[in-house]
Structure 1
Amino acid sequence: MKRLFNNYINTFGGLSKEIWWLALIMLVNRAGTMVVPFLSLYLTTNLNFTVSDVGWIMSAFGLGSVVGSWLGGKLTDVIGYYKVMMLSLFTTGLAFIGLQYLQTFNIICLGIFITMILADTFRPAAFVAMSAYSKTENKTRSVTLIRLAINLGFSAGPAIGGIIITNVGYNGLFWLDGITCIAAAFLLIRVLNPKKAKVLDEYKNSNPKSAYSDMPFMIFILAMVLFGIVFLQYFSTMPIYYKNIHLLNEVEIGLLLGLSGLVIFLLEMPIIKWLETKSYSKITLMIQGAILLAISFLVVIVFSWTGVLVIGILLMTFAEMVMFPFSNAFALDRSKRGNQGEYMALYSIAFSISHIFGHNAGMQMTDTLGYNNTWLVMVFLSVVCIILLQWLKHAIKPKINTQLPKKIL
């Protein structure tokens, strides 16, 4: 057991001190965004908005995320990742505190839109910072560590938020959200000051290529949008399926979704470390992730046994563990062709678009087509994603063979 534990700890070896600090900042920041899981409940119970109103407010949430990601990429290329992250954390904290004072529908839509713009300017800047503070051979594992921090933050945030709502009320939630974001900004200033931090791979292209004119990268982004739409069903339509078809209660659904987080925490870093020792290319691994996601829906369609839900969630979890670290690392590698902020903004925007369309499309399809037909549509979208990634692999192979290390393929 001791040897197993030591082997697990060793998978985290070789990462820079700055990456660990960045992971801590992400943990504090994501644990602090505890308003988000309770936003729809707050709007319907405290402010008495209808479900339809909440739908429009959540659309403003998604649109703000898209604009924020785009703006964050532009600002990162102009003023640098450090200033963008610091300003984003500080202003987001103030915005969260201010949200509790908004009451009318139009003002809340505007407030949520602005808050998400401020919050999501952080993401492209954080990706570029992660690249700068990582050695080339450690980028995928650096991404994995950041993902672990984000998952831990998302796990802890709702639990803490529920306690605060019960004992203090929603106002306390907004205040704590704001304070934690501002605290993360001060932590950033303290531990990641560029004058003190050791930058390992800060890359500047003297003749940058626009990400929008990089056709293979745009195909990659489309594949990520499709993967995101399918993946997000596990956090919107699938829980309803668990409840209505398999008659699971909220505790059982929570345990099932919690299993995914536990597996990620225990296995993602060792799996990534092992895969990096193999000769698989990044795109090949992304294709395998999309295949696992498609199979996770197929097994649910084919088998009516309730236990198959565990198999489905595990397949989805392994798909996530393979797809996200290697797709992120691929985007970071590709970004050296142009302005890194612009490239990483597009990568962030891909998942913002998935949020805008994925949840709503899944809900509408389950209502009109039924669950199994909806899952078949998700399998089809996964297959399209696989085809796009396969095309991408062949499209860039000749260029990478002559210009970049083979392992990036």
Structure 2
Amino acid sequence: MLQEVYRSYIGSFSGLRKEVWLLALITLINRAGTMVIPFLSLYLTKDKGFSLEEVGWILSIFGLGSVAGSWLGGKFTDSIGHYKTMAGSLLISSILFILLQFPTSFLGFSIGIFLVMLAADAFRPAVFVAISAYSKPENRTRSVSLIRLAINLGFSAGPAIGGLIIAKAGYGALFWVDGITCFIAGLLLLQLLHPKKARQNPPILNLEPTATAKDKVYMTFLVALMLFGFIFIQYFSTMPLFYSEGFKLLESEIGILLGLNGFMIFLFEMPLIKFLESRKFSDLQYVIAGSVLTGVSFLVINLSQWTGILVVGMLLVTLGEMIAFPFSNSFALKRSDKGKQGAYMALYSIAFSLSHIFGHNTGMQLIDNFGFRFTWMTMAILSVIVCALLIWTIRLLKRETEI
């Protein structure tokens, strides 16, 4: 029995190209280093003394930088290619992460975080296009899952290590670690991942690129995705405050709880995706299932003052994430075959970046004015709206295929 489980687990990784594995390694190193992001709200309130309102606006500027970076990343990917875009993003953001520890004023930190995200999130559309370029079409969803596995393995280690670093050396050390790991990831990209190994797409894909803004199916999908991101990011901005203020958890304990998300994804996402791919459900149906689980996670944490309920909530949102993100990414990549991939995947990244602009700030303002429990109920209601939009997207897709 155990041997069959082991073979099934190993088999879920089979058939992926060496370049996809190298891309996953680079992403792992990069993501493990971005440990300052989950602690940003705590850093700004506890270490810098900013109010919740100021933190909300800083996180909105964080999102603006993310939108601008994703847009630039898409432009650069379509003009100079994914390889140069990824390398430039990693190397420039490595310097900016180190410099981010020095601003002390609201304005100074706002400018700093905008520049960091401008450089860092140019990586996102480029890496999505790289997945498409280096993977076989039939392995796209699993290739996406492998990259997500690398991201979440880094994320499981990052917060846990970050919490220990804060306890031993303070918040400032995190910025040095972030900068150095981004630089190492950039060097590895230049040394190991060669652009000539990319799979060439058939020329027909880019002869008459579809205007992405006129793609009603894709735009409706992106609105749903933006709302889903709005809900999901609460777990990594406002939720740590809930852990700290509502349950009196220490930074090290918060890091372990956040790290559980990445660890679970590392263990179970690839086998889960391989299993789900063999079922007869569509990408969008799986995104709906993931949205439901995420909404339920916010309902659950309102049920009890028992600390263990936080683990239950984290497990539910992790399962929702494991289902929703790979299949939403897969749908976007398939849809991007209709036109310029950089433009399509930039819009995919921008949908999440818009979530950062509005999600963090709105979450902070709701908590400040109405409390945690009202905020979590609001997120659960929004998840119902996400499901409705995705069902509408499926109907639009059916109409399109019938024409």
Task: Say whether the fold is shared (TM-score over 0.5).
Answer: yes
- 3-state SS of the aligned residue for 2:208? coil
- Compute the RMSD of aligned alpha carbons: 2.8
2:15 equivalent in structure 1: 14
Query: Which residue type is aligned with residue 114 of structure 1?
Result: L
Between 1:393-402 and 1:374-383, the stretch displaced more is 393-402
Unmatched 5+ stretches in structure 2: none
User: Aligned pair in 2 of structure 1 residues 234, 36: CA closer, same or farther (>3 Å)?
Assistant: closer
Residue in 1 that maps onto 2:249: 249
Which of structures 1 and 2 has the larger relative contact order (alpha carbons within 8 angstroms, sep 6+)? 2
Alignment CA distance shift 1:75-1:395 (3 Å)? same
CA contact (8 A) 2:53 2:365 kept: no
Separation in 1, partners of 2:86, 2:240: 34
Q: Distance in 2 between matches of 1:299 and 1:167?
A: 34
Alignment match, 1:233: 234
Q: What CA distance in whole angstroms lies between the structure 2 residues aligned with 1:282 and 1:306?
A: 35
SS in 2 for 1:382: helix
Contact 1:72–1:123, Cα closer than 8 Å, also in 2: yes
> Does the C-alpha gap of structure 1 residues 286 and 43 become closer, same or farther in structure 2, counting only changes over 3 Å?
closer
Q: Secondary structure at the match of 1:337?
A: coil
The answer to which of 255-264 and 225-234 deviates more is: 255-264
* Deviation of the 1:91 alpha carbon: 1.2
1:1-400 paired onto structure 2 within 5 Å:
1-40=2-41, 52-164=53-165, 172-195=173-196, 197-199=197-199, 201=201, 204-241=205-242, 247=247, 249-250=249-250, 255-301=256-302, 308-400=309-401
Alpha-carbon separation, structure 2, partners of 1:38 and 1:304: 23
- Residue 391 of structure 1 deviates from its aligned partner by 0.9
Q: CA deviation at 1:125?
A: 0.5
Whether the 8 Å contact between 2:20 and 2:135 is mirrored in structure 1 is yes
Superposed displacement of residue 69, structure 1: 0.5
User: Mind listing any 5+ residue stretches in structure 1 that lack a counterpart?
Assistant: 403-409
Question: Following the alignment from structure 2 to structure 1, what is the Cα–Cα distance between the partners of residues 227 and 307?
Answer: 27
1:113-172 C-alpha deviation (Å, 9 max, x unpaired): 112111111100000001111111111111111111111212222344455556666555
Query: Separation in 2 of the partners of 1:173 and 1:240?
Result: 19
Give distance in 2, aligned partners of 1:360 and 1:224. Answer: 18
Letter of the 1:67 counterpart: A
Identity of matched residues, %: 55
1:407 aligns with: none
Deviation at 1:225, TM superposition (A): 1.1
Distance 1:21 1:33, change over 3 A: same
Higher mean alpha-carbon deviation, 161-170 vs 378-387, is at: 161-170
Q: Is residue 159–residue 255 contact of structure 2 (8 Å, CA) maintained in 1?
A: no
User: 1:294-323 CA distances to partner (integer Å, 9 max, x unpaired)?
Assistant: 233334456676655444332222111110
- Between the aligned partners of 1:281 and 1:32, the Cα distance in structure 2 is 35
* Other-structure match for 1:405: none
* Residue pair 1:134, 1:201 contacting (<8 A) in 2 also: no
The answer to whether the Cα contact below 8 Å between 2:133 and 2:199 also exists between their aligned partners in 1 is: yes
User: SS at the partner of 1:316?
Assistant: helix
Q: Could you tell me how far apart the structure 1 residues matched to 2:315 and 2:274 are?
A: 19
Closer/same/farther in 2, CA of residues 243 and 42 from structure 1, 3 Å limit: closer
> How many residue pairs are counted as aligned between the two chains?
400
